[in-house]
Amino acid sequence: MTVAANAGPHVESPIYETGGNGPKYSNPGGQFCAFHLRTTTPHVWVWLYGAERESLIADGFEPSAQDDWFKVKTLLEAVRLVKWTLKAHQARA
């Protein structure tokens, strides 16, 4: 979430849904990522605008049954997600 908040200029403060889905980050082009925070399992679901499913799978991320959502289970995966978060921000800018 820190990467999303600092992905580039004009990132808007995250929007939190009342349903507990987690923060959503956007820039003037629109929403570029969202996090579904899990409290009962040791992972976070992440949605990234324009993420190519096959590319993220090839990079080792486990996809959700829902399109464009991926499981992040470890800090190492979170570090690998940085480049994808920045790409999503740039795609919406």
Most distant CA atoms of the chain, gap in Å: 34
- pTM across the whole model: 0.85
d(CA 91, CA 85) in angstroms, rounded, equals: 10
pLDDT tens digits, 42-61: 889 999 999 889 999 999 99
Task: Please state the φ and ψ torsions of residue 73, each to the nearest 5 degrees.
Answer: -110, -25
Query: Pairing between strand 62-63 and 44-48?
Result: unpaired
Mean pLDDT of 1-7: 85
Residue count of the chain:
93
More reliable by pLDDT, 53 or 1:
53
Q: Which two tokens stand for residue 25?
A: 């980050």
The per-residue pLDDT of the chain, averaged, comes to: 88
Sorted by where each starts, the structural domains of the chain and their CATH numbers stand as 2-92 (3.90.1150)
Rg (Cα) of the chain, in Å, rounded?
Answer: 12
